[in-house]
Amino acid sequence: MKTLALLVLLFAANFSYAQTHTNARIHTIAVTTQAGETMHLESRHNMRVHHAAAGEFPFEVTVDTLLADVSDGKQHAYLGSISNLSHDSLQIFFRRQQAVPCGWTSSVCFGSLCFPATQDSASTWLAPVDSPFHAVGLTLDINPALSENHDTSRVYITIGAGDAMASKDTILYPFVTTFAPSDPPVIFNWASTPKDVYSFNGAGLHIFSSVLQNRACSGVPYHFSLQSQLPAGWTAVYTVGKSDTSSGPLTYPFAGAGDFQGGDRQKIQFKVTAPILTKTDSATIYLSVHPETNNPADSMLYKFKAIFNAPLGGVENSEDRVGLAVLNVWPNPVHASANLNFDIMTDRDGPAIAHVYDVVGSEIYTSLVDGLSVGENHVQLGGLNLPSGDYMIVIQQGKAASEAIRINYVK
């Protein structure tokens, strides 16, 4: 449990002041971090408004909130709007000042007009209050870096009317954004969520890739390692960025988060070569990622499946296998005296069938898998009584089927 004293502004919808005015209030909110930790944040805000005249303030600003938590590592958008309250066209501007942690960026949009993170001020015109174009959206985007430490970002946005250099009608909003590291802390992620299973038709060389991004403030060397479970004669290699092709360990430098040349993002490309085949077969690839930091827990292991060619025994292909997946199979190799264990995820109740095929695709054994229910299930398959060798197993439930799982059976 941690308590942070934060400077946050909360404001009323309309202001009418003849001079600079500061109004302080205190609020407390609870924020749940990515690690499941609850943080009670004390929000002490200073409302600062400057209005030159004693009459009505010429514009109105609304925002959804002035406090957010980005412990999930995702971009946060503060949303608001600015409305012209006068019967004349009104020039509106923003000025930005910020105190953000290393690697964080912020940017502002007026409606669909978005300004780069390097631009601290801009203006636009609003039509009179009786026009449908008298208002414009206001967006402040906050892009956090990932860190092993707690961080707080403060971005101060001044909204004003008229000439930005001489305006007497301004309102200052401090937006406060907090970050708490995950447990264990991880400073990288995929630019977009990669697929777990890839399907290809026919033999030969097939390629799939995804982009990994360093979310830390500074540049870091990343260490990679590839392990694979491949049918006989298959090969699997990979590259990172502009590295040489490798089938084992590899180190590649990543730039710090927000690098303008894109060096914080690198494509990881996998190349799997399969021989001539007439039946479905698959390869499993494990990629270990570990940045060179002081925290040995800052690492991840990713698993990818590559499935080749036609369905086995008429079982539908991977793109039709909706709602059923085999999460884990062990032990592998499996001895005749042991049971084969499966963790199966399904979206419906009901029995399934385990189809066992030899390496040329002939079905040689079937077994009823009873008692599956929605969610994750643990089942055992025993009594196979097969000759020693490699086999493929597919779990089928109605019209849904798992990917082909390769096992080695030892009698």
Distance between CA atoms of residues 63 and 112, nearest Å? 17
Query: So what's the pLDDT on residue 124?
Result: 92
CA atoms within 13 A on the CB side of 200: 21
Distance between CA atoms of residues 141 and 75, nearest Å? 7
* Residue 371 DSSP symbol: -
Encoded amino acid at 324, one letter: L
Distance between CA atoms of residues 311 and 346, nearest Å? 20
Secondary element (H or E) of residue 190: strand 188-190
Distance between CA atoms of residues 246 and 390, nearest Å? 27
Judge contact between 321 and 312, C-beta under 8 A.
no
Query: So what's the pLDDT on residue 9?
Result: 33
Six-digit token string for 407: 């096992």
What contacts 118, CB < 8 A, 6 or more positions away?
Answer: none
Judge contact between 24 and 45, C-beta under 8 A.
yes
User: Which phi and psi angles does 345 have, rounded to 5°?
Assistant: -105, 130
User: In order of start, what are the domains of the chain with their CATH numbers?
Assistant: 2-179 (2.60.40.10), 188-308 (2.60.40.2040), 318-410 (2.60.40.1930)
* Residue 244 DSSP symbol: P
Query: So what's the pLDDT on residue 27?
Result: 38
Q: What is the pTM of this model?
A: 0.56
Query: So what's the pLDDT on residue 129?
Result: 93
Six-digit token string for 114: 């978005």
The 3-state DSSP class for residue 380 equals strand
Tally of helices (H runs) and strands (E runs) in the chain:
0, 31
**Run means of pLDDT, 10 residues per run, the chain, 411 residues:** 34 32 42 47 43 66 91 91 93 93 91 88 94 94 89 92 76 91 86 81 83 91 94 92 92 89 89 80 92 86 83 41 69 81 81 85 85 79 83 85 82 77
Query: So what's the pLDDT on residue 377?
Result: 81
What contacts 155, CB < 8 A, 6 or more positions away?
Answer: 96, 97, 98, 100, 106, 140, 142, 174, 175, 177
| β-sheet bridge partners, residue 63 | 80
Examine residue 249 and say whether the peptide bond preceding it is cis (omega within 30 degrees of 0): no
How far CA 218 is from CA of 177, 184, 187, in Å, comes to 20, 19, 10
